[in-house]
Structure 1
């Protein structure tokens, strides 16, 4: 402990603690608050800063590792009574402290926000928490090895850029953006990732201080190469698994039924509001038996799917899912005879169904502007979308009459 405190006192990295804590908290608190009350999204929100912290950690580790490269320093260290690993351990610990402490403080803030409601799915939070730790360990190990291979002039840039490219180019699970209920972190796999990264750091303790790679002794060099291979293999394997259905799903009943993952209990009031808005819809709109959150049902194409996702906590996502399910049920006759009804609408460029869907979506969402932007639409489609949105702001009687007439028009002209 005394060696660590001494190394921390003399390391410039100690001045990064406060700025990195501020950066971590800024990245967390600047996000939308949809993750509040959801363990999976809470852990993912706290883990998001590791993409940036990892870049800094790899750069700082590379710089620290390359500092003792001059031959005269290597000779001095080789004459020390303490073995090499004990002399190197405090420096690696300082780098880890400089980046793990801000990360853990950010995760503690996230935990404090969600813990009072204590929703289901706490293991999801633990998985993302450990994923962030594993990522920072791997970044530090990679940077340390790069620092041994390059001079202090180039190693920080190589370490930071190398870690960023690994995350961007190889599509690893080292960093995630959100943690929806339909995804489950594999604690065992993530633990193996962390163990592999820790193994790499332990192997780095035996690397010599020589100025060139040719001075690496066979045994430490082999250990580092093997540790790098293990860490790379672990980092390349997926650690976030898709979940397939839930026996204890949470369902809210109304004219239809909206079913959520147990971990999405927070969204029950949202589902109740959407269902309440379906009560006054024209009876010509047929209601589906149930509408499901993504991943809860086994679809006809032999995959696990659903009608909507709540990855960003948007009521528009739920409203869109319910809207499309109602539309599919209402115009089911158009699917008969090899979808000839839909083909006839397409040939006539009749966008009545699209206008009806945009009206219904806005109504179920409670009004306002959509939280998305539509692209690649034709002029007739854009006109239909605007018509539907405008209709949702008119008096109730006018809306009902227009929706009823639209449904009858489509069914009578294209779907009989």
Structure 2
């Protein structure tokens, strides 16, 4: 411990602790609060800063390991009675401390926010917490090796760039943006990744001192190579899996049942509000028996799916899912395989159904502007979207009359055999 404290006091990296804690908390607290009360999203929110902390950790590790030691210091270290790895351990520990402490502080804040309600799915939080630790360990190990291969002039930049390239190459496996209930971090696979990264750091202790590797004994060199290969294999292995259904569901009953993942229990009041807005719809709109959160049901095309996703906690996602389900039920005759009604509607460029869907979506969401941006629309589609959204702001009687007339017109013109 004394060696670690002396190394921390001697390292200028110690001045990064407070700024990095501030950066970590800023990245967490400036996000939308949809992750509050959801263990998966809470762990993911606390893990997001590792995208930046990992870059800094790789750069700091490369810089530290490539530092040129004065000749008298190198001679003193070489004459020390204790093994070299014990002398090198404090320097690696300093780098880990400087970046793990801010990360764990941020995760502690995230934990405190959600722990008050203690929803289901705590193992999801643990998975994302450990995923962030594994990423920082891997970044530090990679940076340490790069620093030993390059001079201090290029080591830090190469370490940061190297880690960025790896994160980009492995997509979201090293850093995630959110942790929806339909995704499950694999604790065993993540633990193996963390263990491989820790093994790489231990192997780095036997690398020779100096600004760069000039001579490496066969056994330490082989150990580092094998540890690096094991870490690369662990990083390349997916650690977040799609969930396939759930034995229990958090369902809100009504004329249409809205079913959520058990971990999404927080959204039950939202579902109740959406169903309440759906109660006074015109009778010509057929309501489905149930709609489901993404991944909860096995669909006809032989995959696990659903009607909406709550990845960002948006009521518009739920409203859109129910809207599309109502539209599919209402105009089912137009979409039958042996009937050409839907094709005729497309050929005529009739966007009446699109206008109806946008009206219904805005109505079910409770008004306001959508939390997404429409792209790739034709002029007729854009006009239909605006018509539907404008209609949702008109008096109730006018909305019902317009919706009823639109449905009857489409059914009579395209869906009547």
Shorter-chain TM-score above 0.5: yes
Q: Report SS of the residue matched to 1:213.
A: coil
Q: Which residue of 2 aligns with 1:293?
A: 293
Pairwise CA distance, 1:72: 5.7
For residues 20-78 of structure 1, what are the alpha-carbon distances to aligned partners after superposition, in whole Å with 9 as ceiling and x for unaligned?
00000000001000000000000000000001000000000001101146666443321
| Superposed CA offset, 1:197-248 (max 9, x none) | 0000000000001454341111111111110000000001000010000110
Q: Summarize the alignment of residues 357-368 of structure 1 with structure 2, pairs less than 5 Å apart.
A: 357-368=357-368
1:60 aligned partner: 60
Partner deviation per Cα, 1:368-412 (whole Å, 9 max, x = no partner): 000011011111101100000000000000000000000000001
Superposed displacement of residue 169, structure 1: 2.2
Alignment of 1:189-200 (within 5 A): 189-200=189-200
SS in 2 for 1:310: coil
List aligned pairs for 1:4-403, cutoff 5 A: 4-68=4-68, 73-403=73-403
C-alpha separation between the residues in 1 aligned to 2:337 and 2:67? 75
Root-mean-square deviation over aligned CA pairs: 1.1
Contact 1:68 1:209 in 2 (8 A): no
Q: 1:228 to 1:298 in 2, by over 3 A?
A: same
Does the 8 Å contact 1:173/1:235 carry over to 2? yes
Q: Secondary structure at the match of 2:103?
A: helix
Matched positions, count: 416
CA distance in 2, matches of 1:337, 1:163: 51
* CA distance in 1 between partners of 2:69 and 2:332 (Å): 73
* In structure 2, C-alpha distance between the alignment counterparts of 1:397 and 1:159, rounded to whole Å: 65
CA contact (8 A) 2:38 2:263 kept: yes
Deviation of 1:81 after TM superposition, in Å, equals 1.9
Q: 1 CA distance for matches of 2:389 and 2:194?
A: 50
Query: What residue ranges of structure 2 are gaps of 5+ in the alignment?
Result: none
Contact 1:293–1:307 (Cα < 8 Å) also in 2: yes
- 4+ residue runs of structure 1 moved beyond 4 angstroms? 69-73
User: Contact between 2:151 and 2:212, CA under 8 Å: does it hold in 1?
Assistant: no
CA distance in 2: counterparts of 1:130 and 1:75, whole angstroms: 40
Q: 1:9 to 1:214 in 2, by over 3 A?
A: closer
Deviation at 1:299, TM superposition (A): 0.7
Report the alpha carbon displacement of residue 336 of structure 1 after superposing the two structures with TM.
2.0
Q: Distance in 1 between matches of 2:179 and 2:251?
A: 21
Q: 1:99-131: per-residue Cα shift (whole Å, max 9, x none)? A: 000000000000000000000000000000000
Gap change, CA 1:70 and 1:147, over 3 Å in 2:
farther
**Whole-Å separation in 2 of the counterparts to 1:406 and 1:211:** 76
